[in-house]
Chains A and B, each alone.
Chain A
Amino acid sequence: MFIARGGYTTQSSDRSPSIGYQSKVRVVDRYKVIGFISSGTYGRVYKAVGRNGQAGEFAIKKFKPDKEGEQIQYTGISQSAVREMALCSELSHVNVIRLVEIILEGKCIFMVFEYAEHDLLQIIHHHTQPTRHPIPPATVKSIMFQLLNGCQYLHSNWVLHRDLKPANIMVTSSGEVKIGDLGLARLFNKPLHSLFSGDKVVVTIWYRAPELLLGSRHYTPAIDMWAVGCIFAELLSLRPIFKGEEAKMDSKKTVPFQRNQMQKIVEIMGLPTKEKWPNLVSMPEYLQLSTLSANQHAKTGGSSLEKWYYSTINSHSPTSAPSSNASLGAEGYKLLSALLEYDPEKRLTAQTALQHPFFSTGDKVSGNCFEGMKMEYPHRRVSQDDNDIRTSSLPGTKRSGLPDDTRPTKRMKE
């Protein structure tokens, strides 16, 4: 893979040769920006095409440098950017978004990725318009298989994604699923510090695993697998299965117990029990569990996930089309419940999930999740009002209608 070229140049001035870093490659010489995709706390993402005959389209993620006054200064690259750059440079898998190159230019970092026309958030959203209609079962199956395949690759390489959610799962126009946004990803094989220290809160709350909600400091691949389970549920029901409200950090910067989120999980999954999850009692927030209001059913440790599952796959399309997701059947439930297993040690790993009968029963799983589909999903919205990747949009300059904290490709739902 070709990555950034750069070098120091000595501007020849006799008295003091001032040394300055200058990129050997200029972004605008290599790419033509054709639109603005999204912005976030990290910076902005642009859509681009190559100027040097590079095939395909690209998404260029421009990291915002920290601003000190009016003049942009080198302030040191954030640790998360360093991680993302290093990890993306190593990773190579069909179900993980491909890094094309990194250009370090003008105090900014430009990460050039292959472009993906869709993402799961957008696809799920499309199925709620104008009325709810289910994502075809073959598509769900293919998406899940590819997603798990990407996770298996990451986990076998000791990479935790830590922020899996529909908005971060890209889908190309040829139906290939690509795990994207490794901005929070970390290696878990040799943490010099506990993986917990440093970044206190990880994973969008709706996809956050129960052990994290209960204060666990041990990050394991099981955390990603819970999120995969939540995504599976969302592909079926078209809304987040555990849509809690985030408790904000208080002024002392202590991490609050996410009561509402845990409550949402308990409402469907029942209360976790130490019989089924032996380590439960050693969770820092264990005592909080007794304060949750469980319904009669949940109090006894009963889960209503099965009920949730069957009513979901049978409920769609009140009008003409038959409720197609019913074909996902009992194996779909088994996979879902094994992913949404409370005990992280018993939760399905990506490796075992790929062997699940869900994928071997019924139609063969396609590597193209759109196979056999007649319709085409709407393309990613690309705005034209910011095409200047270099100067016009000085970082920190807010622009109308685009709050600066939106994550890439995230749009308002419902």
Chain B
Amino acid sequence: MAANYWESTQRKHWQFTRQQLDELRKNLEDEDQNLVQMYPLPQVRHLSIYFNQQIGRLGKRLGVRQQAMATAQVYIRRFYSKVEIRRTNPYLVIATAVYLACKMEECPHHIRLVVSEGRALWPDFFSSDTSKLGECEFFLISEMSSQMIVHQPYRTLSALQATLSLTQEEAALSWSIINDHYMTDLPLLFAPHIIAIMAILLALVLRPTATGIQSASSSASTIASAAQGALSSAGQLKAGGAESKVGGERSEVQRLSNWLAESNIDIEAIVDCTQEIISFYEFQEQYNEKLTREQINRFVKARGLDK
């Protein structure tokens, strides 16, 4: 329920295995083979980066807090797991998701303001008719089966900050890794606390003193192995193995792996989660904003979805 992830609709209805998610998406494409062939699109990751950027732009204009933008991104990801993107106007869906997420996260904006900002951002693809957004809201809520409460990793991060004695910088870096994970499928694959721990682990391994997350992609394999080291040491501790020695690493990493070893947290899931985000950082370099935008705009225009 609202405070309990384990009883939540998020866990019951919106947590998938990779295979399930692939299948959902494949089914959507199969149902609309003609559309899919006519309008090629970049891979989901790149679409997600594009959406993330657009949400950021809209959010900035509206003064929306990060948490609401995070919720909006989860809404969009849920929605497009059930609806073929080429049947929708993504700009309208983005604005609607932000509008709805702001209401859910207790920072509401008037529909007219959201529409006018959307229109200012995407003049060629966005109607000034507020009823379009109102209608899309029905569509969005309906596809989400009214399940709009999203459990975010941010809360786990705040709770663990003291437990693990994270510095401000480490917490800030973890926070920004959490921000990044909304560009991946991770929110549909893992529990929020797994994602939070993944973010903390990466932040500790990366060290905030480094130039930040962008440097991650260049040394992804180094990071991956450092993270793996911490996790396998936790695994060994858990299995009752010898006192772990995570050689040459900071004591925070040690503390995290000790803490993990004592917890019931699924270490396998954290490993999995870590690999996913690292591979995302690698892929991020290949992202081509211009191509992504053109391909989206093409089907929106050709199909008159902006009307």
**A binding-site residues for B, Cβ under 8 Å:** 1-8, 10, 16-21, 23-24, 73-77, 79, 82-83, 85-92, 102, 104, 107, 156-159, 186-187, 189-193, 198
Contacts and interface: CB of A to CB of B under 8 A. Distances in A.
B3 A23 contact: no
B198 to A, nearest CB: 21
Contact of B305 (A19, A157, A189): A19
A193 B107 contact: yes
Q: Which of B1, B67, B110 has the most CB of A within 10 A?
A: B1
B8 A90 contact: yes
A401 B3 CA distance: 42
27 contacts: A1-B9, A3-B146, A4-B145, A8-B139, A16-B307, A17-B304, A21-B135, A74-B130, A74-B135, A74-B137, A76-B130, A77-B137, A82-B103, A82-B104, A85-B141, A86-B147, A86-B149, A88-B146, A90-B9, A102-B145, A104-B138, A104-B142, A186-B106, A187-B106, A187-B149, A189-B2, A193-B107
Given A86-B148, A192-B105, A157 B68 contact: no
Contacts of B107: 192-193
Q: Which of A2, A7, A23 has the most CB of B within 10 A?
A: A7
Interface in B115-164: 130-139, 141-143, 145-149, 155
Contact of B134 (A19, A76, A91, A189): A76
Interface string B2-13: 111001110000
A205 B138 CA distance: 34
B105 A89 contact: no
B293 interface: no
Contact of A191 (B7, B106, B141, B303): B106
Nearest to B65: A192
Contacts of B104: 82-83, 86
Contacts of A156: 3
Contacts of A158: 2-3
B87 interface: yes
Contacts of A7: 83, 139, 142-143
A76 B138 contact: no
B99 interface: yes
Interface of B: 1-4, 7-9, 65, 67-68, 83, 87-88, 99-100, 103-108, 110-111, 130-139, 141-143, 145-149, 155, 303-305, 307
A74 B149 contact: no
Contact of A189 (B3, B110, B304, B307): B3
B109 to A, nearest CB: 10
A8 B83 contact: yes
A82 B138 contact: no
A85 B3 CA distance: 16
Contacts, number: 140
Contacts of B83: 7-8
Contacts of A88: 146
A76 B133 contact: yes
Contacts of A190: 67, 105-106, 155
A4 B111 CA distance: 23
A17 B87 CA distance: 11
B9 to A, nearest CB: 6
Contacts of A193: 106-107
Nearest to A25: B142
Given A7-B83, A89-B145, A74 B138 contact: yes
Contact of A3 (B100, B133, B139, B147): B147
Contacts of B4: 157
A76 B149 CA distance: 18
Contacts of A104: 138, 141-142
B103 A79 contact: yes
Question: Lowest 5 A-B CB distances belong to which pairs?
Answer: A74-B134, A6-B142, A3-B145, A76-B111, A86-B148
A91 B4 CA distance: 11
A189 B307 CA distance: 40
B106 A8 contact: no
A92 B7 contact: yes
Given A23-B142, A104-B142, A157 B136 contact: no
Contacts of A8: 83, 87-88, 139
Contacts of B142: 4-7, 21, 23-24, 104
B131 A75 contact: yes
A75 B112 CA distance: 9
Given A20-B135, A157-B1, A158-B3, A6 B147 contact: no
Nearest to B304: A16
Nearest to A99: B146
A83 to B, nearest CB: 8
A102 B145 CA distance: 8
Given A21-B142, A192-B106, 12 more contacts: A3-B147, A6-B138, A6-B139, A10-B87, A16-B307, A74-B131, A82-B148, A90-B2, A90-B7, A102-B141, A157-B3, A158-B2
A255 to B, nearest CB: 20
A382 to B, nearest CB: 26
Contacts of A6: 138-139, 142-143
A112 B279 CA distance: 44
Contacts of B135: 20-21, 74
A10 B86 CA distance: 12
A351 to B, nearest CB: 14
A402 B53 CA distance: 51
Contact of A91 (B1, B136, B138, B305): B1
Contacts of A18: 307
